[in-house]
Amino acid sequence: MSTADRGNGGRTYDPDAQHAFPDERLNEVLAYVDRDEEIQTYLDAQNVNPVDRKGYNDHGRKHIGIVRNRALCLYDLLKAGGVEFNGARQQGLDEADEAVIIALAAELHDIGHVVHRDEHPYYSIPLAADVLDRILPEFYDLADCVRVKGEVLHAILCHHTEEQPLTREAGVVRVADALDMERGRSRIPYEKGGRGINTLSSQAIQTVTLREGDSYPVLVEIEMTDAAGVYQVDELLKSKLHDSLIENDIRIVAINVREGDDQLIERIEL
């Protein structure tokens, strides 16, 4: 039974749960990353430019934790649904490396914010490469270090909507980045002091859950308190899902859960 079916709505990866993929190597890497001083310092430092200097929302520990958890839960559901991944396989790596690639890319995808918010995915590449050169030899021989590193960097680059993922591992990271949208945490910034559609839509998202679908491997269910939230989903999540290589495996359903008012929308499939 997958993590996302154990009652947490695909919100948290549990290393002790049973998964639809070999998880021992992933769990060792996650334990290492969580105690690595350099990585943890980056998670704090990378928040300064987007939050303090540009007025965006969190791109540090909280965002990274959400994206990593949802990426792994999304991957688990896709694997349970029989979706085949190509990144690790085409490099001659093990199936166990698929989750490692996803987790490391999710962990390091926003590291480039320490340089600048604008075009940060391109700054993330050299910085993440240095970190990977240090930590991957703890788990892999030289040849596999090169291959895992390349796949992680590809996934980091392709979380940017301007770049097209060539692997499903990269697609998972790309979509998971967009799934951090609850309660105004969208990647579309607030309009300071305004009441525009960006502000209204980003405030409208109440919960995002991932679970096994009836006819798709993954059902993404988004509860909103205002129909304006549809704009948020349409502008952010759909653009990330497009050309992700997993768009045909995911169904998105948005539900208006607000009570007591006339409903502009009760349920819509996107």
Q: What is the pLDDT of residue 244?
A: 97
Cα separation, 228 vs 252, in Å, equals 16
Whether residue 177 contacts residue 121, with contact meaning beta carbons closer than 8 Å, is answered with no
**Phi and psi dihedrals of 267, rounded to 5?**
-155, 135
Has this prediction a pTM greater than 0.95? no
Closest listed residue to residue 246, CA positions, set 9, 7, 17, 71: 71
**Series of mean pLDDT values for 10-residue runs along the chain (270 residues):** 58 96 98 98 95 85 95 98 98 98 98 95 97 98 98 97 96 95 61 53 84 95 82 82 96 80 61
Question: What torsion do the CA atoms of 99, 102, 104, 108 make, to the nearest 10 degrees?
Answer: -170
